A and B are shown apart, each in its own frame.
Chain A
Amino acid sequence: MSYRYGRPALKSSVDVQLQTAFSDGNWSTVIRLAAKRAATLKDPYYEAIRMCAESQLDGTAEKCAVLAAVDDLVKTKKTADIDTVELYEWACRDFFAFDVEYADTLGPLRARWAKANPGSPLALQCLQACLDKWDLVSAQQIATSLDKAYANTADRRYMFWNITLTFLLSISPQCTDASRKVYSLLAIRQLERAADLTENSAKLEPTDRGLLTEEEVCLYYRVLHSHGTKEEFVSRLKSPKLGAISQLKEGRKLLFCEGLDALETWGEWELIYNLCREALTLGLEGGTSPFFVCDLQIWRKLASAASKVPDSDSSLGEVQAVLKRYIEMKDTASAMYKKNLSLALLETTFRLPATALNPNHDSTGLSPRVVQIGLFLDQYFERLSAFDDVKGYVAELGFDEVKRLMEDVLPKMLDEDADTARKTVLNALECRLRYLLTTCPQTLSPQPSVVDGPTQDKPFQCRLCTNPASLPCESCLRKLIVDASNAYKQISGDKALLDAIPRLDKDPRLDLALVLGTSLLKLSGLRPRTTDVGHSLWQAVEPGLFLQAVLLLDAQLKETPGDTELRLLLVQLYLLLGCASYAHQLWTPLDVKRTIQDALSPLFFDRISTLSPGLFHGSRPLMEPLRSFYNHNLGDKSPVRIWDAFLAGSYTSILDMTKHDGNLRRSCTLMMALVEDRRAIRCYGGKVDCEIEEHPLTENIDDDTTMVNKTDYGPFPNLESFHGPPIHEYLRLGPGLSNERSHLAFLSEQYLDLLLYKPPKDYKPSKQTEVALRDREYTLETLSRLSSSLTDFLHQPATPSRLTASETTYYTVLSLLSATLLIALSTPRSDAVPKTLSLLTGSIKSAFASLRTDFFSLSTSSTSATKNKSLPGACATFTEMPTLSAIRDTALAIKHSAAFVLACHDKELARDRSGRSGVHRDVLAEMRVLDLTAGKALAEVKGHVLRLKEALGEGGWLDRVLDLVFGGEEEEGDDEVTRAVEEVVGGRGAAEEWAGRVVESWREGVKGWGMVRME
Chain B
Amino acid sequence: MANFRRFRPDDLNKLSKCNLDPFTETYELGFYLQYYAKWPALFQVAEDQHGNIIGYIMGKLESSPDVYRFSEHYLPWHAHITAVTVAPEARRLGIGKLLTEQLEVAADANDAWFVDLFVRVTNHKAITFYKNMGYSVFRVVKDYYGEHSTDPSLSSEDAYDMRKPMKRDVKREHVRDDGEKHEVDPSDVW
Using a CB–CB cutoff of 8 Å, the interface residues on chain A facing chain B are 214-215, 251, 253-254, 257, 295-298, 300, 334-336, 339-340, 343, 383-385, 388-389, 392, 505, 562, 564, 590-596, 598-600, 629, 632-633, 639-642, 644-645, 647-648, 650, 652-654, 656-657, 659-660, 663, 710, 712, 714-715
Contacts and interface: CB of A to CB of B under 8 A. Distances in A.
13 contacts: A296-B3, A336-B2, A339-B1, A385-B89, A564-B16, A600-B16, A640-B30, A654-B37, A656-B9, A710-B13, A714-B14, A714-B17, A714-B51
Contacts of B92: 335, 383, 505
Contact of A594 (B1, B14, B26, B39): B26
B85 interface: no
Interface stretch (B68-76, B94-102, B111-119, B120-128): B94-102
A641 B36 CA distance: 9
A596 B48 CA distance: 18
Contacts of A650: 36-38, 40
Interface in B35-57: 36-41, 46, 48-52
Nearest to A297: B3
Interface string B76-91: 0000000000001111
B29 interface: yes
Contacts of B97: 334
A730 B22 CA distance: 27
Given A641-B37, A715-B16, A595 B26 contact: yes
A336 B94 contact: yes
B189 interface: no
Contacts of A660: 9-10, 12
A385 B29 contact: no
Contact of B17 (A383, A389, A590, A715): A715
Given A295-B3, A593-B26, A660-B9, A645 B16 contact: no
Contact of A339 (B20, B37, B93): B93
A593 B22 CA distance: 12
Given A334-B94, A594-B26, A653-B40, A641 B1 contact: no
Interface string B10-32: 10111111011110001111101
Most chain A beta-carbon contacts within 10 A, residue among B5, B33, B89, B95: B33
A157 to B, nearest CB: 14
B145 interface: no
Top 3 A-B residue pairs of the complex, sorted by shortest distance between their CB atoms: A660-B9, A645-B37, A644-B37
Given A257-B5, A596-B15, A641-B37, 8 more contacts: A300-B49, A595-B26, A599-B12, A599-B13, A600-B20, A650-B37, A715-B17, A715-B20
A385 B36 contact: no
Given A596-B19, A640-B33, A712 B13 contact: yes
A633 B27 CA distance: 13
Contacts of B149: none
B28 A590 contact: no
Nearest to B19: A596
A714 to B, nearest CB: 4
Nearest to A589: B22
B22 to A, nearest CB: 7
Given A641-B30, A642-B37, A653-B40, A714 B94 contact: no
B34 interface: yes
A652 B12 contact: no
B172 interface: no
Contact of A251 (B9, B19, B105): B105
Nearest to A563: B88
Nearest to B54: A385
Nearest to A385: B89
B156 to A, nearest CB: 23
A444 B131 CA distance: 55
A714 B109 CA distance: 34
B30 A596 contact: no
B1 A340 contact: yes
Contacts of B10: 656, 660, 663, 710
B8 interface: yes
Given A334-B94, A595-B12, A251 B1 contact: no
Nearest to A343: B1
A378 B37 CA distance: 44
Contacts of B91: 384
A254 B6 contact: yes
A648 B41 CA distance: 12
Contacts of B15: 595-596, 599, 712
Contacts of B90: 384-385
Interface residues of B, number: 51
Contacts of A663: 10
Contacts of B20: 564, 590-592, 596, 600, 715
A657 B36 contact: yes
Contacts of A714: 14, 16-17, 50-52
Contacts of A215: 40
Contact of A296 (B9, B19, B49, B52): B49
A715 B95 CA distance: 19
Contacts of A598: 12-13
B16 A599 contact: yes
Contacts of B13: 598-599, 710, 712
A685 B13 CA distance: 35
A591 B51 CA distance: 22
A210 to B, nearest CB: 20
Nearest to B4: A295
B94 A335 contact: yes
A633 B38 contact: no
Nearest to A567: B20
A679 B36 CA distance: 37
Contacts of A257: 5
Contacts of B9: 656-657, 659-660
Contacts of B19: 596
Contacts of B48: 385, 388
A392 B15 CA distance: 23
Contact of A253 (B5, B21, B34, B51): B5
A660 B178 CA distance: 46
A335 B5 CA distance: 18
A659 to B, nearest CB: 7
B110 to A, nearest CB: 12
Contacts of B38: 644-645, 647-648, 650
A903 to B, nearest CB: 44
B12 to A, nearest CB: 5
A710 B15 CA distance: 12
A253 B3 CA distance: 12
Contacts of B6: 253-254
B22 A594 contact: no
Contacts of B109: 251
A296 B37 contact: no
A723 B3 CA distance: 25
B16 A712 contact: yes
B27 A652 contact: no
A296 B2 contact: yes
A313 to B, nearest CB: 26
A384 B21 CA distance: 15
Most chain B beta-carbon contacts within 10 A, residue among A251, A297, A595: A595
B44 to A, nearest CB: 10
A663 B3 CA distance: 25
Contacts of B26: 591, 593-596
Contacts of A336: 2, 46, 93-95, 98
A334 B40 CA distance: 25
Nearest to A333: B94
B50 to A, nearest CB: 7
B28 A595 contact: yes
A471 B11 CA distance: 35
B93 A641 contact: no
Contact of A640 (B29, B46, B94): B29
A657 B10 CA distance: 9
B21 A653 contact: no
B94 A657 contact: no
Contacts of A712: 13-16
